[in-house]
């Protein structure tokens, strides 16, 4: 049962999804230089591996090992640091073709084994289709993979790797550069002087010393900005609902709630990923809570700001100035009122653009691409090399369950409390030596971390990524009587030392606790806090806590019915008749805010939470 390691991608391939075989390239075997280069980078690559799908279900992906002895071809479509290019050239034929049109890219892609891009190349489904099975690896020389259609990549059997760490400092430095430039009107004054004007009184700025900066998002870039801003004499507060408070304390800054951060800050710098829950997080409602005259810096992703609302806030003076490196649409329209606004300083997505960062990113991506072409699975694999067939056949339903429990439990965390400890409890009648839980633990970690960060988790990097975020994961096994034929009875996920936005999810020990089982091959939620429930983990879920009494199910059901929300299942768990109970309601659609408010206002509903699975 135990997994054999190291695993290579070719061992992970389902035959049907494997890339078609090709004739060896006449260029012959790789040179001595390429062997040297490879042994250099192989030391830095992790060779064991299973991975999971990109933020969705579990799908097999084919990323076959290099074609029999041939020298692969790599297409680089955006400027890449020289050291990375040299590394690639030592291993492959490298075609650097910049500024290709979509049509030109589609024409070239069927002739290459790997494609290396930055954020400026759209790697769409059409690109994967045009590759006709030859393209095996896409390397994103940077963090964000918003420009790569991951689902299409996975379906085409193409591995996507990224370079998540090398541009962190550059992004932080750019945020600080924009902060200072905005405060002193550097860009506007520069343009004015170059236009022949001498406008000293127009461009009086504001000082930074003693001003409060709210750093929103405390992952990799956020702390670097916080440290630098402290050095400038600013009072720094940070907000990140999932980062451990200790990490902030360690650099001498306070972790505060979202509302406190935005309502007390003079400057707000954004460093969170773009996810469904951060999209347009800065909108009319949140701008209205800010101090009049606040200044905003966005070096994260354009989509976290509602750009029309920002424009309104700039026009009515709520926001005095904004400095933006990123936009919802890139490049933004030429006539964008936001870009043209006199109180807005803009740069064309330059956060990662320093010579040093680009050298680092280029090396990081070259190593990952070469490793992937050789059949190794890099720790930075973003999409889905498959789980080996023998593991999949047995554990596939549990793999899905583990990820769903992770996704569910993280949504129960109260904003501002941070996550420090995860405990995963596996109950099984099987001998521990016969049950490899690594993939399940990795899937729980993936479910917790991916929805809240820009990290991609696979079995190779799960423990590392968790540790990097200050998360301690412990695993427990409970041995049950029963048939060892069934691998697992249940998986429990506990978040320890954390506050919940739904008190009903707390166990007697004070942990947020959920448990799931596989029933008829489908993942089910079977425990929330101390309440037994039984609901299929599909679609979305509403958890309501109320005092057990007749009629309440009907009331909530009819609110949802009136709002055209289809209820797929319902289960009630209670401690005793007439005592506190939890109602778990599965819904197909996301209810409107109004429906959720009506549920919250229903007499006897003590608390409720809406969770996306
Ligand atoms: N402009 C550029 O060139 C450039 C360069 C690098 C990174 N980036 C972007 O900067 C952002 C941060 O990058 P990173 O590497 O630090 O990512 P990260 O994943 O390491 O950190 C993101 C942090 O945001 C937190 N977060 C999630 N939801 C939040 C919320 N609602 N409120 C506050 N915090 C929340 C997460 O817990 C996490 O700690 C990403 O959007 C990334 O794509 C841009
Ligand atoms: O996601 C990233 O790494 C940054 O946004 C930088 O993108 P770039 O590599 O296109 O500059």
Each residue's pLDDT tens digit, 405-427: 999 999 999 876 688 899 999 99
Centre of ligand 1 to C-alpha 412, Å, is 20
Do 134 and 234 lie in one domain? The reply is: no
Structure tokens given for 279 = 């999209």
Confidence band for 157, pLDDT divided at 50, 70 and 90: confident
Closest atom of ligand 2 to CA, residue 163: 3
Confidence band for 6, pLDDT divided at 50, 70 and 90: very low
Mean local confidence (pLDDT), 397-407: 95
Do 602 and 495 lie in one domain? The reply is: yes
Q: In testing the pocket of ligand 1, which one of 165, 171, 416 has its CB within 8 Å of the most ligand atoms? A: 171
Do 105 and 252 lie in one domain? The reply is: no
Neighbours of 421 (CB within 10 A): 16
User: Ligand 2: does its nearest atom lie under 6 Å from the Cβ of 142?
Assistant: yes
Confidence band for 392, pLDDT divided at 50, 70 and 90: low
Q: What is the pLDDT of residue 76?
A: 98
What is the percentage of the chain residues whose pLDDT exceeds 90? Answer: 65
Do 279 and 424 lie in one domain? The reply is: no
Catalytic residue among 71, 134, 247, 349: 349
Please say whether the dihedral angle defined by the alpha carbons of residues 498, 503, 506 and 510, taken in this order, is positive or negative: positive
Query: pLDDT: is 54 or 491 the higher one?
Result: 491
Per the domain annotation, does 39 fall within a domain?
no
Q: Which residues line ligand 1 (CB under 6 A)?
A: 143-144, 167-168, 171, 216-222, 239-243, 271-274, 278, 281, 299-301, 325-326, 349, 351-352, 452-455
Per the domain annotation, does 522 fall within a domain?
yes
Q: Which ligand is nearest to the CA of 144?
A: 2
Which structural domain, as residue segments, surrounds residue 548? 390-612
Centre of ligand 2 to C-alpha 355, Å, is 13
Centre of ligand 1 to C-alpha 232, Å, is 22
Nearest CA to ligand 2 atom 6: 352
User: Ligand 2: does its nearest atom lie under 6 Å from the Cβ of 298?
Assistant: no
Centre of ligand 2 to C-alpha 142, Å, is 5
Do 129 and 188 lie in one domain? The reply is: no
Do 606 and 546 lie in one domain? The reply is: yes
Q: What is the pLDDT of residue 552?
A: 76
Do 191 and 132 lie in one domain? The reply is: no
The model's pTM: 0.81
Structure tokens given for 290 = 């800010």
* Helix 168-183 with 186-194: angle, nearest 10 deg: 60
Domain holding 330: CATH number?
A: 3.40.50.720
Confidence band for 203, pLDDT divided at 50, 70 and 90: very high
**CA–CA distances in Å: residue 204 to residues 178, 191, 195, 230, 345:** 16, 15, 18, 23, 15
Mean local confidence (pLDDT), 16-43: 33
Q: What is the pLDDT of residue 578?
A: 65
Closest atom of ligand 1 to CA, residue 168: 6
117 strand-pairing partners: 140
Q: What is the pLDDT of residue 384?
A: 55
Q: What is the pLDDT of residues 332-380, one digit of tens each?
A: 999 999 999 999 999 999 999 999 999 999 999 999 999 999 887 678 8
Give catalytic status of residue 341 as yes or no: no
Do 448 and 369 lie in one domain? The reply is: no
Q: What is the pLDDT of residues 223-236, one digit of tens each?
A: 999 999 999 999 99
Query: pLDDT: is 501 or 64 the higher one?
Result: 501
Per the domain annotation, does 152 fall within a domain?
yes
Q: In testing the pocket of ligand 2, which one of 145, 352, 368 has its CB within 8 Å of the most ligand atoms? A: 352
Closest atom of ligand 1 to CA, residue 216: 33
Per the domain annotation, does 143 fall within a domain?
yes
Q: What is the pLDDT of residue 26?
A: 31
User: Ligand 2: does its nearest atom lie under 6 Å from the Cβ of 271?
Assistant: no
Give catalytic status of residue 349 as yes or no: yes
Domain holding 407: CATH number?
A: 3.30.1330.90
Confidence band for 213, pLDDT divided at 50, 70 and 90: very high
Catalytic residue among 301, 469, 494, 524: 301
Confidence band for 3, pLDDT divided at 50, 70 and 90: very low
Q: What is the pLDDT of residue 464?
A: 84
Per the domain annotation, does 4 fall within a domain?
no
48 phi and psi, to 5 degrees?
-85, 160
Peptide bond into 331 cis (omega under 30): yes
Centre of ligand 2 to C-alpha 591, Å, is 35
Centre of ligand 2 to C-alpha 457, Å, is 19
Do 452 and 524 lie in one domain? The reply is: yes
Do 310 and 175 lie in one domain? The reply is: yes
Complex ipTM > 0.95 = yes
Query: pLDDT: is 486 or 52 the higher one?
Result: 486
Instruction: Share the mean pLDDT of the chain.
Output: 86
Centre of ligand 1 to C-alpha 171, Å, is 10
Per the domain annotation, does 600 fall within a domain?
yes
Structure tokens given for 457 = 């988790």
Per the domain annotation, does 412 fall within a domain?
yes
User: Ligand 2: does its nearest atom lie under 6 Å from the Cβ of 352?
Assistant: yes
Q: What is the pLDDT of residue 390?
A: 65
Confidence band for 65, pLDDT divided at 50, 70 and 90: very low
- The count of domains in the chain is 3
Does the pLDDT at position 597 exceed 90? no
Q: What share of the chain is helix, strand, coil (3-state, %, to 5)?
A: 35, 20, 45
Neighbours of 396 (CB within 10 A): 17
Could you write out the DSSP letters of every residue in 435-468?
---HHHHHHHHHHHHGGGSS----TTTHHHHHHH
Do 182 and 287 lie in one domain? The reply is: yes
Does the pLDDT at position 121 exceed 50? yes
Do 286 and 335 lie in one domain? The reply is: yes
Does the pLDDT at position 258 exceed 90? yes
Q: What is the pLDDT of residue 11?
A: 36
Per the domain annotation, does 498 fall within a domain?
yes
């Amino acid at each position: 049962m135990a997994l054999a390691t190291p695993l290579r991608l070719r061992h992970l391939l389902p035959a049907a999804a494997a890339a078609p075989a090709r004739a060896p390239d006449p260029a012959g075997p790789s040179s001595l230089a390429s062997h040297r280069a490879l042994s250099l980078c192989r030391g830095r690559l992790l060779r064991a591996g299973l991975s999971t799908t990109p933020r969705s279900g579990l799908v097999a992906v084919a990323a076959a090992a290099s074609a029999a002895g041939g020298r692969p071809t790599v297409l680089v479509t955006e400027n890449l640091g020289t050291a990375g290019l040299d590394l690639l050239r030592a291993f492959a034929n490298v075609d650097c073709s910049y500024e290709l049109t979509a049509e030109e890219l589609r024409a070239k892609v069927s002739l290459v084994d790997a494609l290396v891009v930055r954020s400026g190349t759209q790697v769409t489904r059409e690109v994967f289709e045009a590759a006709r099975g030859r393209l095996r690896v896409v390397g994103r020389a940077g963090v964000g993979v918003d420009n790569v259609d991951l689902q299409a990549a996975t379906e085409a059997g193409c591995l996507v790797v990224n370079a998540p760490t090398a541009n962190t400092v550059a992004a932080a430095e750019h945020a600080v550069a924009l902060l200072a430039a905005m405060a002193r009107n550097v860009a506007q004054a520069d343009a004015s002087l170059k236009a022949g004007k001498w406008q000293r009184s127009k461009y009086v700025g504001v000082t930074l010393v003693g001003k409060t900066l709210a750093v929103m998002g405390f992952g990799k870039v956020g702390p670097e900005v916080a440290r630098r801003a402290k050095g400038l004499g600013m009072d720094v507060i940070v907000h990140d609902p999932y980062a451990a408070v200790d990490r902030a304390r360690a650099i001498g800054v306070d972790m505060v709630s979202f509302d406190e951060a935005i309502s007390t800050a003079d400057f707000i710098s954004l460093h969170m990923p773009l996810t469904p829950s951060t999209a347009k997080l800065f909108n009319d409602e949140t701008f209205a809570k800010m101090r009049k005259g606040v200044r905003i810096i966005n070096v994260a992703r354009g989509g976290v700001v509602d750009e029309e609302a920002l424009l309104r806030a700039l026009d009515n003076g709520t926001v005095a100035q904004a400095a933006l490196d990123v936009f919802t649409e890139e490049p933004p329209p030429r006539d964008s009122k936001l870009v043209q606004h006199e109180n807005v300083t803009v740069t064309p997505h330059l956060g990662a653009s320093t010579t040093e960062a680009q050298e680092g990113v280029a090396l990081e991506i070259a190593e990952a691409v070469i490793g992937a072409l050789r059949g190794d699975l890099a720790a930075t694999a973003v999409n889905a090399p498959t789980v080996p067939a023998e593991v999949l056949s047995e554990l596939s339903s549990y793999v899905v369950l583990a990820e769903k429990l992770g996704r569910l439990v993280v949504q129960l965390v109260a904003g501002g409390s941070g996550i420090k400890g995860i405990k995963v409890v596996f109950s099984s009648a099987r001998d521990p030596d016969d049950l490899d839980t690594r993939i399940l633990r990795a899937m729980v970690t993936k479910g917790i971390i991916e929805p809240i960060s820009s990290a991609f988790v696979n079995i190779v990097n799960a423990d590392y990524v968790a540790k990097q975020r200050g998360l301690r994961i412990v695993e427990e096994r409970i041995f049950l009587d029963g048939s060892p034929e069934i691998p697992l009875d249940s998986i429990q996920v506990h978040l320890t030392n954390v506050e919940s936005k739904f008190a009903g999810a707390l166990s007697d020990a004070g942990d947020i606790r959920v448990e799931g089982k596989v029933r008829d091959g489908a993942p089910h939620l079977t425990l929330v806090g101390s309440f037994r429930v039984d609901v299929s983990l599909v679609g979305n879920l509403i958890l309501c806590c109320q005092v057990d009494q007749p009629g309440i199910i009907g009331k909530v059901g009819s609110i949802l019915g009136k709002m055209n929300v289809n209820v797929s299942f319902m289960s009630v768990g209670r401690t005793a008749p007439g005592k506190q109970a939890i109602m778990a309601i599965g819904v197909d659609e996301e209810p409107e805010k109004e429906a959720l408010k009506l549920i919250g206002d229903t007499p006897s509903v003590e608390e409720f939470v809406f969770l996306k699975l």
